């Protein structure tokens, strides 16, 4: 996931308050996360509350499992479609016993073949991508029990557990096919949160643990690559603090947290194992919100984080981060602005390397950035039509920005860009009325590697763009409902992505269309059938300007993985309860 053009390693991901990314695993494959009925996702652009945990330059994604509050309900969803895809999700929430205990349980499973044809630029012909299927299953159980005390105050105890397994075939990028590689992963997670009354607020304590297993088997085409690897990531942590109102208009959330991570390579065959590594981290956090009037709100957040990495080399880092913000409401329009400093320490992969695909850089420095944004949002209803709009501008001045740079076929190395600038604007418009729903969003970026300079014929200095960040990203969706049916059409455009530090290798732009139809079946309450079509016009290739003229290439991502053609998915949803 990319937020405001950031790289995926710069987006922190949390599930039920437990960090899923960190030193040992800076980037998360979102395809490995199950989507249970009732789960919610919240994205913080750039700045997140300090009490959540260490932030990152690109923002924070917070995933909340199905809530255990609310009425009893059950939901079942199943789907089948192209490329052998099969998917299933089940969610259930209900009371257990007479003491107020409630339990939420969820199951998720999926599989696919994912073999499809694409245009091979080197061979100049169509080719079938192979070894791309997957199978996955996961289960989650969360329960909460209310706690009542003699002075009529209340608290609660919540426990969340997750277990999942996935077998993923890895086809490799177009320049480095891996037709025999298989990745098996498993993840186990547990978190306990205790909330107790504390004056005008509450004491909050959380403890958590997580283990990720990674196992790769391969019959490599290139000598010297491993045939089997077995690695494990273990992480534990906890936090304690107080949240409440100091004064009527002033809210405080203060926390202290600590965590430890360990990357432990297991048995490696055919190649030397990478070095193990550990990270210990402690942090202090505080969030303040002052609601001066109904129309004016001011916020301030600050963290002090200390990291200690032990691996092939040892590094210790102490970094403060903070931001301030404010919001002013004038009639139907709300204006907001935030500014502050962010930081992220290099991950184990970035610093020590792994699997021969990423070359380590032990001299890598932590990245930091000053970020400023300003925006407005408005919501208004005119007769039967409701409108909502957002607009924002942002700029980031980064120091020692960490980027991946290609070092050959299928190999990348991390480098620090001493100075970089990222600026952009984003807009969102939503409207509803007369059966129609319309949503349009756009993000435009301009980036510059201020450590480099490409001379021009006039002698002026041209700063090359940063790799992996799209200049244009637009999404448009429109749907129309009549009776129990709703028809949808959408288009997603991404353009202006460069793959190198010099701005000479550009990823072909893509515009992918989709459509869908859903029907609430009459006479069968709670049952919904749906058909979704992705890449409606079966777009598989694009043309971009090469050194010696136009070049036809497969539509793909920045890592040179081709995207599939048209795909269909038929699904059924049954919901019992509110």
- Condensed to tens digits (0 to 9), the pLDDT of residues 222-243 reads 777 789 989 899 999 999 999 9
Of residues 118 and 313, more confidently modeled: 118
pLDDT on residue 277: 86
Of residues 405 and 383, more confidently modeled: 383
Range in 236-250, 313-327, 515-529, 554-568 the model is least confident about:
554-568
Q: Which two tokens stand for residue 159?
A: 């426990």
Of residues 101 and 463, more confidently modeled: 101
Q: Cα(578)–Cα(75) distance, rounded to whole angstroms? A: 10
Tell me the pLDDT band of 49, cut-offs 50, 70 and 90. Answer: very high
H or E stretch covering 350: helix 348-352
For the segment 346-366, the average pLDDT, to the nearest whole number, is 73
From the list 374, 389, 498, the residue with the least C-alpha distance to 425 is 374
Q: Do 3 and 11 form a contact (C-beta atoms < 8 A)?
A: yes
Of residues 17 and 223, more confidently modeled: 17
Q: Enumerate residues 6+ apart whose C-beta is below 8 A from 247.
A: none
Range in 11-25, 111-125, 537-551, 556-570 the model is least confident about:
537-551
From the list 298, 434, 417, 307, the residue with the least C-alpha distance to 367 is 417
pLDDT on residue 459: 60
Please determine, for residue 269, whether its predicted confidence score (pLDDT) is greater than 70: yes
Strands (E), 171-200: 181-198
Range in 170-174, 212-216, 434-438, 555-559 the model is least confident about:
555-559
Give percent of the chain above pLDDT 90.
Answer: 51
- CATH classification of 8-173+182-221+230-576, choosing from 1.10.3720.10, 2.40.400.10, 2.40.170.20, 2.40.160.210? 2.40.170.20
pLDDT on residue 353: 67
Q: Do 159 and 190 form a contact (C-beta atoms < 8 A)?
A: yes
Q: Which two tokens stand for residue 185?
A: 């992963």
Residue 567 to residues 82, 158, 534, 536, Cα–Cα distance (Å): 5, 40, 5, 8
pLDDT on residue 546: 66
Please tell me the pTM assigned to this model: 0.87
For the segment 175-199, the average pLDDT, to the nearest whole number, is 91
Please determine, for residue 267, whether its predicted confidence score (pLDDT) is greater than 60: yes
Alpha carbon of residue 512 to chain centroid:
21
Tell me the pLDDT band of 23, cut-offs 50, 70 and 90. Answer: confident
Q: Which of 91-100, 173-182, 368-377, 540-549 has the highest mean pLDDT?
A: 368-377
- Kindly compute the dihedral angle of the four CA atoms of residues 17, 23, 29, 33, in this order, to the nearest 10 degrees: -30
pLDDT on residue 24: 77
Residue whose tokens read 């030397």: 272
Please determine, for residue 362, whether its predicted confidence score (pLDDT) is greater than 80: no
For the segment 371-388, the average pLDDT, to the nearest whole number, is 95
């Amino acid at each position: 996931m990319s937020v405001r053009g950031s790289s995926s390693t710069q987006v922190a991901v949390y599930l039920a308050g437990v960090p899923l990314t960190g030193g040992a695993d800076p980037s998360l494959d979102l395809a490995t996360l199950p989507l249970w009925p009732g789960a919610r996702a919240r994205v913080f652009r750039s700045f997140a509350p300090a009490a959540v945990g260490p932030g990152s330059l690109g923002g924070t994604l917070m995933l909340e499992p199905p809530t255990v509050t609310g009425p009893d309900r059950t939901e079942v969803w199943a789907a089948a479609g192209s490329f052998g895809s099969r998917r299933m999700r089940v969610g259930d929430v209900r009371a257990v016993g007479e003491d107020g205990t409630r339990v939420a349980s969820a199951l998720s499973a999926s599989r696919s073949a994912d073999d499809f044809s694409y245009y091979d630029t080197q061979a100049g012909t169509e080719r079938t991508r192979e070894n791309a299927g997957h199978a996955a299953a996961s289960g989650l159980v969360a329960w909460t029990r209310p706690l009542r005390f003699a002075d009529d105050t209340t608290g609660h105890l919540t426990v969340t557990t997750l277990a999942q397994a996935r077998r993923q075939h890895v086809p490799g990028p177009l320049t480095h096919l891996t037709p025999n590689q298989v990745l098996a992963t498993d993840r186990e997670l547990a978190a306990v949160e205790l909330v107790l009354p504390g004056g005008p607020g509450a004491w909050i304590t959380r403890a958590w643990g997580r283990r990720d297993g990674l196992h790769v088997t391969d019959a490599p085409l290139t000598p010297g690559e491993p045939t089997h690897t077995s690695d494990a990531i273990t992480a534990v942590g906890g936090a304690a603090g107080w949240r409440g109102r100091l004064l009527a208009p002033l809210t405080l959330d203060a926390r202290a947290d600590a965590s430890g991570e360990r990357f432990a390579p297991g048995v490696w065959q055919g190649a030397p194992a990478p070095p193990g590594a550990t990270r210990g981290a402690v942090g202090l956090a505080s969030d303040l919100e002052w609601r001066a009037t109904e129309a004016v709100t001011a916020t301030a957040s600050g963290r002090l984080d200390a990291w200690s990495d032990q691996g092939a080399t040892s590094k210790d880092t102490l970094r403060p981060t903070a931001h301030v913000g404010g919001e002013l409401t004038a009639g139907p329009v709300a204006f907001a602005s935030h500014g502050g400093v962010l930081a992220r320490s290099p991950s184990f992969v970035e610093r020590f390397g792994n699997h021969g695909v990423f070359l380590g850089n032990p001299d890598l420095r932590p990245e930091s950035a000053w970020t400023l944004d300003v925006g407005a949002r408005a919501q208004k209803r005119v007769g039967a039509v409701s409108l909502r709009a957002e607009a924002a501008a942002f700029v980031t001045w980064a120091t020692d920005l960490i980027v991946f740079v290609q070092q050959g076929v299928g190999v990348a190395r991390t480098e620090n860009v001493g100075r970089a600038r990222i600026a952009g604007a984003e807009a969102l418009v939503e409207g509803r009325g007369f059966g129609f729903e319309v949503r349009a969003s756009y993000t435009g970026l301009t980036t510059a590697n201020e450590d480099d300079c490409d001379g021009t014929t006039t002698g002026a200095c041209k700063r090359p763009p940063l790799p992996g960040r799209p200049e244009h990203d637009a999404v448009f969706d429109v749907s129309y409902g009549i009776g129990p049916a709703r028809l949808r059409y959408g288009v997603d455009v991404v353009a202006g992505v460069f793959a190198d530090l010099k701005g000479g290798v550009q990823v072909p732009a893509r515009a992918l269309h989709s459509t869908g139809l859903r029907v609430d079946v009459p006479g069968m309450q709670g049952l919904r059938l749906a058909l979704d079509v992705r890449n409606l016009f079966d777009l598989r290739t694009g043309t971009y300007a090469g050194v010696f003229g136009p070049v036809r290439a497969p539509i793909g991502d920045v890592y040179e993985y081709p995207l599939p053609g048209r795909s269909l998915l038929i699904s059924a949803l049954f919901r019992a309860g509110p």
